[in-house]
């Protein structure tokens, strides 16, 4: 396994991380436990979850599965998106974050989380309040590092500036939708993070399956695909994305790997990326995707991928989660 620093911090994370939003939903406890143990047995140490995944079931499953293995994992969770209908069951106020951290720790069966992430920017809470609350969590020993998610570049830079001014711990990472099918972070977020030493953790690295080769002009809703189970996903399946999928598949065949492996490897070749989180509902999926860590792309391969995906630097992000 290849390990990298998380941003400019001293924390080392596996180049391939495990995303767990399917745990407790599309993968039951036993399947999820097998995936977690297989991941860790093969060098994956970064496990990412959130307080809202599968209605808190993801955190509960991870807590049980990590018994006896907690010290080997870099465990990351999040808070900030809507948890309920109450006035304070959302956002990044001190009130909400402290409540959610304590609940997450109980579900995860641990005294601390390695990376605590704000799930999205909260326009109704002063950043200073959020950052001071996170600082207190670090000082208490319940949180080791802090990160952001779904922040625009200016919001993240403002947070960094406040932390520097007040002498607080900085965000060491940020999660963003980033893939060959969504290169919009390269316009502002990537250069900002490179300048400030913040690691990007891409989510949706396979663009919901578009970069796996499963979609084609003749079959835009393959059985079991996201396009079939989620009607809203159909808006991403069009000639442009299908063409990208076909081009990635052609290059992958030439290199002797799958489209998924090639797409994940491309992200790992980006200097700003610390770890790439990819989900799984079966061990076999994770086994295949682990091949991305050992795939070395030449300058020519990277140029070819750049050309075929360059149109995806413009337009709207593939996914971006915000408070309404």
For the chain, the structural domain boundaries read 3-207+265-293
CA-CA distance, 53 to 247, in Å (whole number)? 33
C-alpha distances out from residue 190 to 5, 35, 266, Å: 16, 31, 15
CA distance 45 to 115: 12
**Residue 197 Cα to chain centre, angstroms:** 18
pLDDT computed for residue 206 by the predictor: 95
pLDDT for the residue numbered 324: 85
b vs e for 239-256, b when ≥16 Cβ sit within 10 Å of the residue's Cβ? eebbebbebbbebbeebe
pLDDT for residue 139: 98
Residues of the chain falling short of pLDDT 50: 227
CATH class of 3-207+265-293: alpha beta
pLDDT attached to residue 148? 98
Say which of 3, 38, 53, 112 is annotated catalytic. 53
Per-residue pLDDT at 233: 63
pLDDT of residue 222: 58
What pLDDT score was predicted for residue 208? 84
Give catalytic status of residue 53 as yes or no: yes
pLDDT score of 50: 98
Residues pairing with 177 in the sheet: 203
In whole angstroms, give the CA distance from residue 58 to residue 32. 9
pLDDT value of position 141: 98
- Whole-structure pTM value: 0.94
In this prediction, residue 231 carries a pLDDT of 64
């Amino acid at each position: 396994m290849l390990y990298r620093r998380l941003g400019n911090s001293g924390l080392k994370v596996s180049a391939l991380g495990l995303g767990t939003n399917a745990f407790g939903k599309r993968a039951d406890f036993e399947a999820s436990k097998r995936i977690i143990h297989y991941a860790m047995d093969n060098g994956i140490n970064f496990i990412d979850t959130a307080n809202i995944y599968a209605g808190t079931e993801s955190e509960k499953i991870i807590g049980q599965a990590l018994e006896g293995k907690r010290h080997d994992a870099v465990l990351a969770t999040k808070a900030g998106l809507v948890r309920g209908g109450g006035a304070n069951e959302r956002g990044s106020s001190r009130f909400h974050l402290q409540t959610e951290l304590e609940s997450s720790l109980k579900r995860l069966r641990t005294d601390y989380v390695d990376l605590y992430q704000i799930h999205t920017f909260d326009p109704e809470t002063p950043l200073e309040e959020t950052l001071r609350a996170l600082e207190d969590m670090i000082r208490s020993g319940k949180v080791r590092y802090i990160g952001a998610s779904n922040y625009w570049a200016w919001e993240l830079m403002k947070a960094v500036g406040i932390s520097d001014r007040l002498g607080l711990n900085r965000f060491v990472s940020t999660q963003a939708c980033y893939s060959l099918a969504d290169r919009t972070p390269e316009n502002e977020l990537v250069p900002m993070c490179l300048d400030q030493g913040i690691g990007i953790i891409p989510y949706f690295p396979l663009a919901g399956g578009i970069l796996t080769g499963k979609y084609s002009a003749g079959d835009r809703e393959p059985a079991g695909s996201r396009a079939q189970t989620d009607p809203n996903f159909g808006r991403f399946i069009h000639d442009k994305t299908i063409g990208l999928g076909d081009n990635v598949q052609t290059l992958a065949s030439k290199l002797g790997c799958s489209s998924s492996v090639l797409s994940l490897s491309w992200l790992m070749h980006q200097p700003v990326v610390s770890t790439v989180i990819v989900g799984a509902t079966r061990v076999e999926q994770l086994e295949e995707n682990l091949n991305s860590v050992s795939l070395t792309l030449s300058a020519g391969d990277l140029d070819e991928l750049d050309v075929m995906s360059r149109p995806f630097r413009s337009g709207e992000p593939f996914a971006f989660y915000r408070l309404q």
